Amino acid sequence: SGEFTLWNGLTFNFETILQAHDSPVRTMVWSHNDVWMVTADHAGYVKYWQSNMNNVKMFLAHKEAIRGISFSPSDSKFATCSDDGTIKIWDFQRCQEERTLRGHGADVKCVHWHPQKGLVISGSKDNQQPVKLWDPKTGQSLATLHAHKSTVMDVKWNNNGNWLVTASRDHLLKLFDVRNLSSEVQTFRGHKKESSSVAWHPYHEGLFCSGGSDGAILFWHVGADKEVGAIEQAHDSIVWTLAWHPLGHILCSGSNDHSSKFWTRNRPGDLMRDKYNLNTLPANLSGLDENEIDDLSVIPGMGPEDKVEAINPASDSSGAIPGLDIDSTDDKIKVVLKKVPYSKPIPKNFQAHWNHTTVGDDDKDGFDALDLINQLLANQPGVIPLAEIEPETLIIYGKEIDLKPTDELTLAIKKGYEAFARYINSGAVEELNDVRPYMDLSDEEPK
């Protein structure tokens, strides 16, 4: 319908319904600093929103439906993917397209920017090139993972920067380690129908959940052979999206059954000891015996203790998980996995690229300060471009700052982009210290 519904996270009541787009909203994402939300629709339009749901920008990004959006670590760039078979890299402030990534032979269903580096991953309907890794600066394809035989519906980086998980219509989820992409680390089998969405837990490194086309939500732990929890009939239709609360105690799911649901433990300390959510029934009706409880059904981090351990005989270590820290204090998992070569070898320059790429994905060429300010003010009603008058107000990163002719900030704006950026980076503008991304000037530290 193109509508937004704004929900209260304490009472779980909706506060308002807004007609946001003229066609179905296909994706929405908050910037890492929580100041901006970017949404996209079936007609290919992108919109910028402030936290008060004020729409400040709209432009046509693709000629077909946009399926995914992902911000760069600094929020200065974002990526979009579309049914037109392309991924595009955009400059957020200038709303300008910087690169078009071409290589998939069909609809691109998902995209995710690496949490620390200049690296983008995408999944598509193209069963010949289902998953690709890209350099967003050059637009070059760095690697192709031939991981699935059907459409890849979702792909997500783990916050550790090394793991990525894919969800596909072939019912499978697969875990890869970017340090060794020659084969998958683990394959997760449990969905009875297509797997459609996936989300890593924000706190427990090895835990993630997935949604399926039959409405099921499954919980997984890296190293465990089977799901560690399940809600078989969470929804009546496909689960399109999943999102954890930043603290990890609430999970939100969105479905084609027209509902959004919030999931949490029944009470503090409840270990969800069964896989099929039977703990919602009275104890005398559940039919469970204490001796029948499987410890692997416990979801780590959702109760007072982590009890997930899948330990195989130590004598056979031929299939140890490559590149993983299996002795971490959070997830003490020792498991034997069969390595199955599946993906083609990656290019030789990939490792060098990985070692030398940094977060600095901002455009270092710079641009005139008046252009910067006018871009930020373009959609504010009643504002006259600064090129025509003496600047009186600066609106940047969602903050409004009054200017005076003799202020150092005003003088920095008049001197040009570098002076303006140095002044902002200095931290002298206290109102921006909690929201501003770093503004790159050169390879040197700003003075």
Q: What is the pLDDT of residues 154-213, one digit of tens each?
A: 999 999 989 999 999 888 899 999 988 888 889 999 898 889 999 999 989 899 999 999
The helices-and-strands tally (H runs, E runs) of the chain is 5, 27
Strand order across the 195-200 sheet: 195-200, 207-212, 217-221, 229-231
35 versus 404: which is more confidently predicted?
35
pLDDT category of residue 249 using cuts at 50, 70 and 90: confident
pLDDT of residue 87: 92
Sequence ranges of the domains in the chain? 3-356, 369-432
Question: Mean pLDDT for the chain?
Answer: 75
Cα–Cα dist 291/295, whole Å:
11
Residue type, 94: R
| CATH fold of the domain at 3-356 | Methylamine Dehydrogenase; Chain H (2.130.10)
pLDDT of residue 352: 61
Q: Which of 37-51, 239-253, 273-287, 341-355 has the lowest mean pLDDT?
A: 273-287
Q: Are 217 and 175 in contact (CB under 8 A)?
A: no
| Per-residue exposure over 153-167, b if at least 16 CB sit within 10 Å of its own CB, e if not | bbbbbbeeebbbbbb
Cα–Cα dist 309/192, whole Å:
25
DSSP 346-388: PPTHHHHHHHH--S--S-SS---HHHHHHHHHTTSTTPPPTTT
Cα–Cα dist 428/194, whole Å:
52
pLDDT of residue 174: 92
The conformation of residue 179, written as its DSSP 8-state character, comes to T
pLDDT category of residue 404 using cuts at 50, 70 and 90: confident
Cα–Cα dist 56/371, whole Å:
17
pTM of the model as a whole? 0.62
Q: How many CB atoms lie within 10 A of CB 246?
A: 10
Cα–Cα dist 152/159, whole Å:
21
Q: Are 232 and 218 in contact (CB under 8 A)?
A: no
Burial of 57 (0-12, 13-18, 19+ CB in 10 A): middle
Tell me what the mean pLDDT of segment 91-97 comes to: 90
- Given a cut of 70, whether residue 363 has pLDDT beyond it is no
Q: How many CB atoms lie within 10 A of CB 405?
A: 10
The conformation of residue 424, written as its DSSP 8-state character, comes to H
Q: Which of 158, 216, 154 is nearest to 190 (CA)?
A: 216
- Given a cut of 90, whether residue 373 has pLDDT beyond it is no
Tell me what the mean pLDDT of segment 392-410 comes to: 79
- Lookup result for tokens 């596909």: 168
pLDDT category of residue 376 using cuts at 50, 70 and 90: low
pLDDT category of residue 357 using cuts at 50, 70 and 90: low
400 versus 331: which is more confidently predicted?
400
pLDDT of residue 341: 41
Tokens of 332: 């003490």
pLDDT category of residue 412 using cuts at 50, 70 and 90: confident
96 versus 336: which is more confidently predicted?
96
pLDDT of residue 298: 43
- Given a cut of 90, whether residue 112 has pLDDT beyond it is yes
Residue type, 305: E
